[in-house]
Amino acid sequence: MSGKLKEVRERIKSVQSTQQITKAMKMVSASKLRRAQQAIVEMRPYANRLDKIMKNIVSNMDGDINSPYVAIREVKKVAIVVITSNRGLCGAFNTNIIKEAILKTEEYSQQREEGHLSLVFIGKKGYDAMKRKYSDCQLITEYVDLFSDLSFEHVAEVSQILMDKFASGDFDKVEVCYGQFKNAAVQHPVAVQFLPVARVNDEVEKKETIRSRADYIFEPDKESLLGELIPSILQTTFHKFVLDNHASEHGARMTAMDNATTNAEELMKELKINYNKARQEAITKELSEIVGGAAALNG
């Protein structure tokens, strides 16, 4: 019985130690989440509006824009950017993004067979999960540690490399899989087309675009303006993807650590009940032995 009591005591200590760790990680993630959430909340309206402007210009002036980033070619070479986190302990966050990336990758089976499918990893978890399954693809890991510096200038270096490779014909299409931040408890894995610049596809959006079609006036001239505007908007959009994923990671980790802390509390309650039961059984057994011994002596 003493061995059972010792085992339960050790389990209680172990759970208490784990709970202290999960509490600390929750507090750290909550602190990081506030900054990450503020960054994406401030960025998203600006980036979304610029993206809408760019798509409207491309849709309204189809065939009249001389930009390498709007060129629609036969899709022979594809790049899929997989944005995950560098660390785990954030629930199903990384798993859901990886599932979305796998689904997107399977859509390009022909390009994969021909050796023209590239996987670009931002965050170690995506690379660790997919490197064996897709070892026949071109695995690009130069930007795995991008989260060490999320400044616009640093992230723009990566997006510019992707844009240059698309413009030069190394890629005919670039897709991005990442976690879209809704709130601390909800993050959605999404896959979006980064290049070429997507046209307006939704029928409602098409009607709205046609209705709002304008005779654009470009100053100083169309080529100069769009030559600066489209790359800048694309860099801003890519930065939004990264910030979205960063906020989603901390939200998912904070929620996961909160759930772990709550589960540890419930487990400790159960262990303490078991400990008290075992202790009562030991005391009852000792009393029974004492009473039995006393009765034997009196008899």
Structure tokens belonging to residue 7: 């085992």
- Taking the C-alpha atoms of residue 195 and residue 181, their distance in angstroms, rounded to an integer, is 22
Task: Give helix then strand counts, H and E, for the chain.
Answer: 7, 5
CA 221-222-227 angle, to 5 degrees, is: 110
- Taking the C-alpha atoms of residue 68 and residue 86, their distance in angstroms, rounded to an integer, is 33
Q: Is position 90 annotated as part of the catalytic site?
A: yes
- Taking the C-alpha atoms of residue 119 and residue 122, their distance in angstroms, rounded to an integer, is 10
- Catalytic pick among 25, 36, 80, 90: 90
Going 70 to 99 to 86 to 133, the CA torsion angle's sign is negative
Dihedrals φ, ψ of 147, to 5°? -70, -5
Residue with tokens 């879209």: 180
- Taking the C-alpha atoms of residue 30 and residue 252, their distance in angstroms, rounded to an integer, is 10
Q: Catalytic residues, which ones?
A: 90
